[in-house]
Structures are given as structure tokens and as C-alpha cells.
């Protein structure tokens, strides 16, 4: 049908208007889309590029090599050795139980380690490798590699593990490393991401823990390409980390080994300090333990054996142990009186075997007494009554202050675990801690290193070094860090009267070299290396009046834990001090019989740099010393065996 031209024109006008409207809408949409594309491609390109990269590329940490530890002569104390382990990727293994059963037929698998691995598999994504065997031999690695087609998902890996080649000799000083625990992380406010790497090892005790930040180093990184599931496809590049700092200690490995061997099976400790610079040449506690067992993962039975041993092998007695210093403290009481001008040149005190103070009788160790004694004879024979009398004159506050000047009751900043402060109490301390007034009897007890007085073997060695030099010698354990020498511990002049120090040194010389000296039995007869020292015996039990009336029970007749502690401190050579030594034998009895012989042997070993000639010992001692040296020679080579230790 033919349409009217007017109707056609009207229809055309309507269509044109609609087309223009639709075209405008389309144009607006295309324009908006173009603007958004411009915004995404230009203004927000960096942000989306970063997101895309993060989806495709992961940055992972590379554990650094831990810094190594050496003795003063460059001998290795702690180092890193290649460690082989076997890992399994559950996703690639398929039937994990079947593969592990097959693996167990080829190499020995530790049940405890295997249980840990199975727990990790349950918690981890199936594409992450899990360690099923650690510290495996090269033979085991070869066996796994040869049988790879039959062990899907299983592969050997190599890493680094800590090794302590001298075993138990440095266990208490250096400590050991172990895997990071939740408890470790809870103690750190902002933990390094390295610490979150599974089974990453950090220092647990000793120097390893105290200098963890230096030894750990800085992590490296590697970029790996991953797929959508997070599985690694390939490594793109890597940046190696920074190895931890190497530490050189002041300790002498050979001397340390000798000291540890000389202490033997006693529950004891010893410290040797260089009086010139404060270097700790040896610091030992006995019995010790093998730190390598902790690195590998100590068994429950082995740990319980250490924990339940009454001699406390896990404790570092040299710095943690605090004991009544006994008669080794008498030099402090005397120095306090000398500096106050309370001892005249010819002043003597009469010792009848006791002193009555405020209605209480304080006994001398020698029941019959020492008679009239002056300063030198009182120290030489260790007369208690002389020091009771001095203490009443000088007072506890001045004795306490002098003790702290000589390093007692002060925490020395040595990088070892739980370094104790000891105790040199004054009157205010008792009021503050016990809420009681200080009694005159407390002063009498403190004058001979009993009562509240407590000191560690380290503190007693520092005290002796300061008496020998008149300087405020400070102990130093780290000699250098990455070759950079650390500050000396030589110390400054203490400002004490040199005449008073000379009097104390003469008295200490008499202790070891006069026939009536308490340490005469452990003397040295070679003038060039003569010793000046002081014996000490500290009580760990009260002796009742009834027991004194019946007769005091001998130490050897008491249970071990109720016997007296034996102590000895000395410096040598007497006329030109180079080293200071302290020895404590727990419940060893008398200082002259138990501690002094050990200290003499350690002193001579340090001065000679090895076994001393028999001629320096009194003739009667030489056969015994020769047999002892031979026995120790047979023991000491064990210290050089890889990973061995004397527990």
C-alpha cells in the first residue's frame, strides 16, 4: 500500500530523533569506558601491575650462615657443617603412607622425627616439603637418590647445622642453638621474619643466646614464580644474605679443656682471669653435657638424666652458682678495716677459740684457738676470731661497700645465661628485704663470708684479680667481633692505699708458702711461679651446741649435700701477677684439701701453657702429679674429636 508523503516525513522525523538519542547514549557509554580505561592504564597502572606481580611472583627468605665462634688462638669452638635431610612433598607422593613405608625399608627413620613430620603434613599445604629425616649420612642420601623412581615426592636436601667440636668443654659458656619455639617468639616484640621459617635455629642459652643478633646474620631473598595454587614453578633470581658475625673469645680452648678434665666428676667450677686485661681464659662447670645433643634434638631419657642429676650438669655454676664465700672473704673485711685505719702495725687480737657477742658464742674453726695473732698470721692460719673483732670495729656498711669495690654483690656483664649478682648486704638491705633490723651477729657472720654473704666463682676471681693489681679489673669474654677488638677489661686504679694492698698480698703469700699456712700443702716450690692465695670452707648447715659438746661430725661422715663447700682463690706469679683463679667444689669439705690442689694445677697449666715440669711441685707430690698428668693426657684428646664430649 502506498503511504502518504506526509506520514512518511513524520515517521522519518521520529526515527531520526530516536537514532540520535540512542547514538548519544552509546557515545556517552563509549566515552565513559574510554575514560575508565585511561584511568586504569595510566593513573592506576602501577597498583595493578604490583597486584599482578604478587599473584605470579613470591619473594622468599634465604637463611644466612650463622657466625662461627673461635677461641683466643683461632681454634674452632662452634661452626656450621653441611647437614643432609630427606624431605617429602605429599602432593607429589600420592599415597604418603606407602611411600614412607618404602623409604623406611631403605634408610633408618627415627619414629619421633617421623611423628613430627606427619603432624606437619596435616597442618601444611600438600605442595610444601616436609622433613622426614635429619642429619642423615651421605650413604642414605645416595640410597634415596638411586631409588628416586620408586619414591615419588621424596628428595634429599642439604643445609647447615651447628656443630660444637669440643663437646662438653664449652657447653656452659657458649651454650647451644635449637629450633625457634612459640615461647621464643612470645619474648620478642617484633620478631625477625627469619624466625618464622620452619625449624630455623637460634641461640637458646649461653653466648649463642646472648649474642644471637650478632651471630644470626641477615636473610637473603629469592624470587620464585608460582602458579595460582601457590606452587613453585621456577626460581627467577636470588640475593644472598649476610652471614652472621664471627666471634673470637678470650677463652683458651686447651686450658678450658684441661680445667674441665681436672675438675673431673666433682660438682665444681673454676674461673681463670688474665689480670692484665680481664680476659677470661677459662670458665668451667662440672659435670658438663654435650651441646650437640640439643642441636640434634635431645631424647627424653637423656634430658631427664641431666635434669635429675644431683650434681646439676645443666647449671653454669661459675656464674649462676652463688655460695657463702667463707674465709676467702676475710681479705675484704681486712681491707675495710685497713682503709679505715683501724689496724695498727703491731696490733694483735687474742683468739681463745671463740668470741662472745650479745650473749651468743661465735666459734673459731680451731676449737683450741690461735692465741695472739696479727693480720698476716690471722690470714695465714685463717683465724675467725680476728675477723669477728675487726668487723665489730668497722661495721657492716663499710664491709659491704668494700666488697662491692672488689666486685662482690655486683653483676658482671658477661654474655652468659643467668649471671648472678651475688649478695654483699648492708643494714638497709635487711630492712628492705626482710623487714628486720640488722643484728651485730649478722656482722660477725658476714666478716668470715657466712650468713647473708653470697658470691659466684666469677666474682671471687674478679676479687682476686683486683687484690693482685689494685685495678678495677672487669671480666671480658669476647675478644673481637669480625676481627674488631673489643674494649679491654683492664680497669682503672681503685684508689686504694698501696701499703694496705701490699699487706694483704704478703698475707696471701704466707697462706700458700709459710709452713703454718692453710694452703702450704698445695704450694709451688719454683720461685718464678709461686702462688699467693686463700683457702675457704663455707658451712651449709648449722652446728648445734649439743653437736659441739659431743664433737662436730666430720664432713666425710655426713650426707654429700650437707657437707661444707670447699673454696680456694689465688693469683700468680706472686711477685708479678698474670692470672687470678677461683675454684669451688660443692660439698667438697675443706678448701685446703679439696679446692687448693685443683687451683694449683690449673694455675700452673695456665702459666706454662701446658703441663708444667714436675720440678715445680714438692718432691713428695711428684709421683702423684706425674700419674695425674698421664691420666689427663689420655682424656684430653677427646676434646679434639669431632662432636665428642665428656659429660
Q: Among 570, 640, 556, 563, which Cα is nearest to 599's?
A: 570
β pairing state of 201-205 and 220-226? unpaired
User: Within 10 Å of residue 17's Cβ, how many Cβ atoms?
Assistant: 10
Closest C-alpha among 368, 340, 341, 364 to residue 354:
364
Distance CA 84, CA 550 (A): 67
**8 A C-beta contact, residue 555 and residue 530:** no
Q: Is the Cα dihedral 623, 627, 630, 635 positive or negative?
A: negative
Q: Is residue 474 helix, strand or coil?
A: coil
The DSSP 8-state label assigned to residue 54 in this structure reads H
The answer to whether residue 327 is catalytic is yes
Phi, psi torsion values for 270, nearest 5 degrees: -150, 145
Q: In which region does residue 26 sit, left (phi positive, over 0), alpha (psi from -120 to 50) or beta (all else)?
A: alpha
Q: Phi/psi at 340 (nearest 5 deg)?
A: -90, -5
- Asked if 261 and 632 touch (Cβ cutoff 8 Å), the reply is yes
C-alpha cell belonging to residue 274: 688474665
267, 327, 378, 400: the catalytic one is 327
Grid cell listed for 98: 606407602
CB atoms within 10 A of CB 352: 12
CA angle 314, 319, 322 (to 5 degrees): 95
- Annotated catalytic residues are 327
Amino acid at each position: 500500500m502506498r503511504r502518504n508523503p506526509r506520514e512518511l516525513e513524520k515517521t522519518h522525523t521520529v526515527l531520526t530523533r530516536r537514532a540520535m538519542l540512542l547514538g548519544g547514549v552509546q557515545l556517552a557509554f563509549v566515552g565513559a569506558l574510554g575514560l575508565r580505561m585511561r584511568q586504569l592504564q595510566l593513573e592506576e597502572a602501577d597498583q595493578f601491575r604490583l597486584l599482578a606481580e604478587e599473584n605470579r611472583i613470591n619473594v622468599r627468605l634465604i637463611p644466612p650462615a650463622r657466625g662461627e665462634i673461635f677461641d683466643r688462638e683461632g681454634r674452632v669452638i662452634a661452626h656450621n657443617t653441611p647437614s643432609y635431610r630427606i624431605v617429602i612433598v605429599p602432593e607429589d607422593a600420592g599415597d604418603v603412607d606407602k611411600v614412607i613405608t618404602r623409604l623406611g625399608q631403605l634408610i633408618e627413620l627415627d619414629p619421633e622425627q617421623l611423628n613430627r613430620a606427619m603432624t606437619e603434613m596435616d597442618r601444611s599445604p600438600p605442595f610444601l616439603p616436609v622433613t622426614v629425616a635429619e642429619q642423615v649420612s651421605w650413604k642414605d642420601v645416595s640410597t634415596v637418590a638411586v631409588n628416586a623412581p620408586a619414591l615419588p615426592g621424596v628428595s634429599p636436601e642439604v643445609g647447615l647445622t651447628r656443630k660444637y667440636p669440643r663437646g662438653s668443654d664449652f657447653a656452659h659458656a657458649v651454650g647451644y642453638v635449637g629450633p625457634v619455639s612459640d615461647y621464643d617468639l612470645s619474648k620478642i616484640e617484633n620478631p625477625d621474619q627469619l624466625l618464622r621459617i620452619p625449624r630455623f635455629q637460634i641461640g637458646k642459652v649461653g653466648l649463642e643466646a646472648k649474642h644471637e643478633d650478632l651471630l644470626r646474620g641477615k636473610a637473603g631473598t629469592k624470587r620464585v614464580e608460582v602458579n595460582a595454587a601457590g606452587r613453585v614453578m621456577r626460581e627467577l633470581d636470588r640475593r644472598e644474605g649476610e652471614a652472621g658475625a664471627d666471634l673470637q673469645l678470650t677463652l683458651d680452648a686447651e686450658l678450658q679443656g684441661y680445667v674441665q678434665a681436672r675438675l673431673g666428676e666433682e660438682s665444681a667450677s673454676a674461673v681463670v682471669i688474665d689480670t692484665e686485661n680481664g680476659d677470661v681464659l677459662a670458665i668451667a662447670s662440672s659435670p658438663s653435657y654435650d651441646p650437640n645433643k640439643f642441636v640434634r634434638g635431645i631424647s627424653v631419657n637423656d634430658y631427664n638424666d641431666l635434669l635429675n642429676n644431683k650434681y646439676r650438669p645443666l647449671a653454669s655454676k661459675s656464674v649462676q652458682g652463688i655460695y657463702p664465700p667463707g674465709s676467702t672473704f676475710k681479705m675484704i673485711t681486712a681491707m675495710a678495716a685497713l682503709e679505715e685505719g683501724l689496724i695498727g702495725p703491731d696490733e694483735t687480737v687474742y683468739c681463745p677459740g671463740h668470741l662472745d657477742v650479745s650473749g651468743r658464742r661465735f666459734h673459731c674453726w680451731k676449737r683450741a684457738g690461735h692465741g695472739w695473732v696479727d693480720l698476716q698470721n690471722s690470714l695465714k692460719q685463717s683465724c675467725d676470731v680476728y675477723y669477728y673483732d675487726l668487723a665489730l670495729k668497722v661495721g657492716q656498711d663499710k664491709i659491704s661497700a668494700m666488697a662491692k669495690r672488689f666486685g662482690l654483690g655486683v653483676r658482671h656483664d658477661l654474655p652468659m645465661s643467668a649471671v648472678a649478682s651475688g649478695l654483699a648486704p648492708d643494714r638497709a638491705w635487711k630492712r628492705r628485704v626482710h623487714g628486720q633490723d640488722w643484728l651485730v651477729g649478722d656482722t660477725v657472720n658476714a666478716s668470715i663470708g657466712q650468713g647473708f654473704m653470697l658470691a659466684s666463682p666469677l666474682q671471687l676471681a674478679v676479687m682476686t684479680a683486683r687484690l693482685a693489681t689494685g685495678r678495677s679489673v672487669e671480666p671480658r669474654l669476647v675478644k673481637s667481633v669480625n676481627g674488631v677488638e673489643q674494649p679491654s677489661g683492664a680497669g682503672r686504679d681503685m684508689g686504694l692505699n698501696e701499703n694496705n694492698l701490699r699487706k694483704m698480698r704478703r698475707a696471701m703469700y704466707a697462706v700458700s708458702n709459710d709452713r703454718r699456712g692453710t694452703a702450704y700443702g698445695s704450694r709451688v716450690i719454683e720461685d718464678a711461679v709461686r702462688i699467693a692465695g686463700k683457702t675457704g670452707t663455707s658451712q651449709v648447715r648449722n652446728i648445734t651446741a649439743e653437736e659441739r659438746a659431743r664433737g662436730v661430725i666430720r664432713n666425710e661422715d655426713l650426707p654429700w649435700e650437707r657437707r661444707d663447700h670447699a673454696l680456694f682463690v689465688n693469683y700468680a706469679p706472686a711477685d708479678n701477677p698474670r692470672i687470678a683463679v677461683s675454684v669451688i667444689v660443692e660439698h667438697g669439705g675443706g678448701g685446703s684439701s679439696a679446692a687448693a690442689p685443683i687451683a694449683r694445677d690449673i694455675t700452673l697449666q695456665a702459666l706454662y701453657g701446658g703441663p708444667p715440669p714436675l720440678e715445680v711441685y714438692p718432691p713428695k707430690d711428684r709421683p702423684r702429679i706425674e700419674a695425674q698428668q698421664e691420666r689427663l693426657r689420655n682424656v684430653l684428646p677427646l676434646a679434639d674429636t669431632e662432636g665428642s664430649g665428656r659429660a
